[in-house]
Amino acid sequence: MSGEINWVELPAADTAKARTFYGGLFGWTTTEFGDDYHTIDNGPAGGIAPREAKFTHPRVYFATDDVDASAKRVHELGGTADDIAEVPGVGRLVHCQDDQGTPFSMFEPAPRG
């Protein structure tokens, strides 16, 4: 459903240490998805990712049925939206900021077929 949280990413300077920490805290296990990105197997839908200069706090993704229209609407409402990225076979996403600078992302799953 559009607007629901459908993914969470936790940035880490050392993803191995983060996986040990969250595994010890919540019992999470992870699966490597490439480039030191690890999806959470038995917790919230999300992943543990390498920390980047622009990605230092947890990132929340909201579901959307049309990422192009949603990114356009973000601009119309005074926010910003980066270029839309595609994850082959997974879906399309865009990183945004609202009109007050709060970061969030939106995700449109790939069509099932």
- Average pLDDT score, the chain: 95
CA angle 70–54–71, rounded 5-degree value: 10
What percent of the chain shows pLDDT beyond 90?
89
**Residue 2: its pLDDT value, please?**
83
Q: What is the pLDDT of residue 84?
A: 98
* CATH H-level, domain 64-113: superfamily: 2,3-Dihydroxybiphenyl 1,2-Dioxygenase, domain 1 (3.10.180.10)
Rounded to whole angstroms, the Cα distance separating 22 from 20 reads 6
Domain 1-62, CATH: 3.10.180.10
2-39 pLDDT, tens digit each: 899 999 999 999 999 999 999 999 999 999 998 999 99
DSSP string, 100-112: T--EEEEEEEPPP
The pair of three-digit structure tokens given for residue 45, joined into one six-digit string: 């839908």
For the cut 90, the answer to whether the pLDDT of residue 112 exceeds it is: no
Instruction: Pinpoint the residues of the chain covered by CATH 3.10.180.10.
Output: 1-62, 64-113
Question: Is residue 113 scored above 90 in pLDDT?
Answer: no
